């Protein structure tokens, strides 16, 4: 079937209804502009949300590295070992397990790295003395004292605040991007205001997420309870130390 052709003359000829043609062109331009604006807004919002999600994950990882009296392999996440002249993460050169609630077992993939692993643990701020038997390293978590708990509470409070500062910085960067587009006439003042409001709501949403994981960690330090049972301590005063065993 032959493709229909449009005579060149018909294209060059004036439109029989110029005002209608102009209305159509304007409508098309407005549609394209609207799509462009939505695309710009989407990029800014998506980037901000992605960075905020990473911030929450970083806060969680930092909390996990804080010793709370219950063994958790994540406590050793920040330890770096000198391995063949290069610093590497402990978990990349050894398998870390929890034989029971109060101990960690570090089994190196290469036994020649045992001394380096032991040195790295001793030099960390974990406050644990490694027991190296030539095959594996055992770590026993001492019972947390009241003073140590106070120190840990300060640590996690600082980590939570650092997370919130990071969220505010992400919001600030997103607003700067909006203002730049406004100056370039790519976004209107009203759209920037709407986007600013959306970013504020997003920031508040992630602030609440940080508060939630912080309160959870706080209870875990004070009462020594599992995350899944943290709500059980709501009615207990902070002065009372309660130890609950998770099953």
**pLDDT-based confidence at residue 117 (cuts at 50, 70, 90):** very high
pLDDT of residue 230: 35
**pLDDT-based confidence at residue 246 (cuts at 50, 70, 90):** very low
Q: Structure tokens of 17?
A: 């209804």
pLDDT of residue 34: 52
Q: Structure tokens of 112?
A: 């020649």
pLDDT value at 2 more than 70: no
**pLDDT-based confidence at residue 194 (cuts at 50, 70, 90):** confident
pLDDT value at 169 more than 60: yes
Q: How many CA atoms lie within 13 A of 82 on its CB side?
A: 7
pLDDT of residue 247: 27
pLDDT in tens, 82-106: 999 899 999 999 999 999 888 899 9
Going from the C-alpha of 195 to that of each of 42, 49, 155, 173, 223, the distances in angstroms are 10, 13, 34, 13, 42
Contact 114, 83 (CB under 8 A): no
Q: What is the mean pLDDT of residues 51-75?
A: 86
- For residue 244, what are the contacts with CB-CB under 8 A and spacing of at least 6? 223, 224, 225, 226, 229, 232
- Sorted by where each starts, the structural domains of the chain and their CATH numbers stand as 37-65+145-218 (1.10.132.20), 73-140 (3.30.1360.40)
Distance between CA 243 and CA 181 in Å, rounded? 55
Q: Compute CA 112 distance to the chain's CA centroid, rounded to the nearest angstrom.
A: 35
Prediction pTM value: 0.59
pLDDT value at 242 more than 50: no
pLDDT of residue 48: 92
């Amino acid at each position: 079937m032959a493709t229909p052709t449009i005579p060149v003359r018909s294209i060059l000829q004036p439109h029989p209804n110029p005002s209608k043609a102009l209305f159509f062109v304007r409508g098309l331009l407005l549609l394209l502009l609207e799509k462009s604006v939505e695309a710009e807004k989407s990029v800014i919002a998506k980037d901000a949300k992605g960075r905020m999600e990473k911030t929450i994950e970083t806060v969680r990882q930092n909390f996990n590295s804080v010793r709370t009296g219950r063994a958790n392999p994540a406590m050793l996440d920040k330890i770096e070992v000198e391995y063949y002249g290069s610093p590497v993460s402990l978990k990349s050169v050894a398998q870390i397990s929890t034989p029971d609630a109060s101990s960690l077992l570090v089994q190196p993939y290469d036994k020649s790295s045992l001394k380096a692993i032991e040195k790295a643990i001793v030099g960390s701020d974990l406050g644990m003395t490694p027991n190296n038997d030539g095959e594996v390293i055992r770590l026993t978590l001492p019972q947390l004292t009241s003073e140590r708990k106070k120190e840990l509470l300060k640590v996690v409070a600082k980590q939570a605040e650092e997370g919130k500062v990071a969220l505010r910085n992400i919001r600030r960067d997103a607003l700067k991007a909006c203002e730049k587009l406004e100056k370039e006439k790519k976004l209107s003042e009203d759209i920037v205001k709407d986007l600013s409001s959306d970013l504020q709501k997003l920031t508040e949403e992630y602030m609440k997420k940080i508060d939630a994981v912080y309160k959870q960690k706080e209870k875990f330090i004070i009462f020594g309870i599992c995350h899944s049972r943290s709500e059980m301590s709501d009615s207990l005063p902070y002065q009372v130390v309660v130890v609950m065993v998770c099953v």
